[in-house]
Amino acid sequence: MLHSPVKTVCSCRPLPFSIPGREQSGANPPQSRINPGFFKTFRTLPQQHLFNELYARDTAKKIKSTFKMKGESGRHLTTNPPFGYVKDEQDKDRWLIDEEAAKTVRYIFKLCCDGLGPTQIANRLRQEQVLTPTAYKAQQRGELLPERPFQWAQKTVSGILDKVEYLGHTENFKTASKNYRSKKRIKTAKEERKLFRDTHPAIVDEHTFQVVQEIRAHRHRPTATGKVSIFSGKVFCADCGAKLQYCTANAFSPNQDFFNCGNYRSNTGTCTAHFIRAVTLEKIVLAHMKRVLAYVQQFETSFVKREMEKANLKRQSSVEQAKLDIVTLKRRDEDLDVLFKRIYEDMVAGRLSPERFDKLSTQYEEEQKQVRQVIRELQLLIDDGEQEVHDLRQFLKSVRKYTDPEELTAEMLNELVDKIIVHAPDKSSGHRRQKIEIYYKAAGIIDIADDLCEAGDGRGQWRKNRKTA
């Protein structure tokens, strides 16, 4: 049986490719094999990014809300306690004092009270080979110490001196981020923070902490020679109010160091020299302080009576009146909230027209704004009045610590003296005379006698002149 040959047809033309869902047309160019769902996914990518963004923002809000609730309850927000404290093993939210580390913290505060700045304190700690907080924690955990375990930094010392936690208080919300995308923390204003007192044991006392804060408020650059003066930041010019700069050199002897007005620049500045030697200033202040201490310790009752009278009786009466007024204003503030709620309910119920509601609400809001402003002003007046009494008591407490001192120390100066005013020298009599005013804390100028220590010719001499202090 014969079979017919098989006819094979060979074509070199490519088979047409069509995308499902589309009509094939001869005008369309050839296309590669791409998954049709790719285009759909590509079109929805912006929506997916939007959903991811909303999810991240919602999560950040929940975390922020949780931290806010925790912070407002007075609990610690930080994971690691400050240097000097450790967590209680039974209660992780409770801080206990680490005595070994606390000794270093107290030593840092003492050095600051002695007149040393953060850089000088860091240098002292490096010389004495005191472990840094990082090295100390590594040692406590039994870990390998860092390469430089005694390398204290100025920033570390400043952070320790600024921490209110060493008073036993908790301060939350000290930093915040701009948004949930940024990891950078920004310091918040004091009024935005929350302070909770006596939440854990204190390492330093209130008085020492306040003295340190005042010293740091008048912080100054150390000299290139490394010499320091206990008067730096406390001496001011009587004419322009600028600080007197401490001037020294390696070749200077102790009686050659001097203070000069910061606005004096070799007759090209805006003020005169107001030159006074450091040893002269120290002798004057020590002599006057001895008389003040002796007088206050011997006649404390009469001194307190006179200072209270000098505190302005009118101010005392105004403080008492402010305490009465602030109660009335706070009650009015609460009443305005009730009135605003009432007129809103009347408008919703139709008993009050929207126009009338807008007018009344504007009046109530304006009145409430004024009431709250007056409340703040009265509260400041009350706080200032109470602070004066507290400062006077603290001054008397500091006076009792020193009895006939032989030398003037930085701690004594910072506890008792607020500022020193140096006047321009007077040469009208043919001799150089220079008036000095010493302002004591909570008391100002203390006039205990008819004489005033006055600088002589500037070479360490001093004399008494019959004038008011």
Evaluate if residue 321 carries a pLDDT over 90: no
In one letter, which amino acid is 326? I
Evaluate if residue 354 carries a pLDDT over 80: yes
State the Cα–Cα distance between residues 446 and 153, nearest whole angstrom.
Answer: 41
What's residue 293's pLDDT?
A: 85
Band the pLDDT of 242: cuts 50, 70, 90. Answer: confident
Among 34-38, 178-182, 308-312, 427-431, whose mean pLDDT is lowest?
34-38
- List the end-to-end C-alpha distance of the chain, in Å, as a whole number: 146
Q: What mean pLDDT is predicted for residues 224-250?
A: 82
- Tell which wins on pLDDT, 322 or 119: 119
What's residue 41's pLDDT?
A: 52
Evaluate if residue 256 carries a pLDDT over 80: yes
Band the pLDDT of 8: cuts 50, 70, 90. Answer: very low
- Residues 218-234: tens digit of each pLDDT: 766 666 677 778 888 88
What H or E segment, with its residue span, contains residue 39?
A: helix 37-43
Beta-bridged to residue 259, according to DSSP, are 246, 276
Band the pLDDT of 291: cuts 50, 70, 90. Answer: confident
The SS3 assignment for 72 reads helix
Among 243-257, 345-359, 436-450, whose mean pLDDT is lowest?
436-450
State the Cα–Cα distance between residues 421 and 341, nearest whole angstrom.
Answer: 57
Among 34-43, 433-442, 456-465, whose mean pLDDT is lowest?
456-465
Evaluate if residue 309 carries a pLDDT over 80: no
Q: How many CB atoms lie within 10 A of CB 181?
A: 10
Query: Using an 8 Å Cβ cutoff, are 285 and 408 in contact?
Result: yes
Q: What mean pLDDT is predicted for residues 371-380?
A: 80
- Residues 97-135: tens digit of each pLDDT: 999 999 999 999 999 888 788 888 999 999 999 999 999
Q: What is the mean pLDDT of the chain?
A: 78
Evaluate if residue 388 carries a pLDDT over 70: no
List strands edge to edge, sheet with 276-277: 244-247, 258-261, 276-277
Evaluate if residue 266 carries a pLDDT over 50: yes
State the Cα–Cα distance between residues 184 and 195, nearest whole angstrom.
Answer: 23
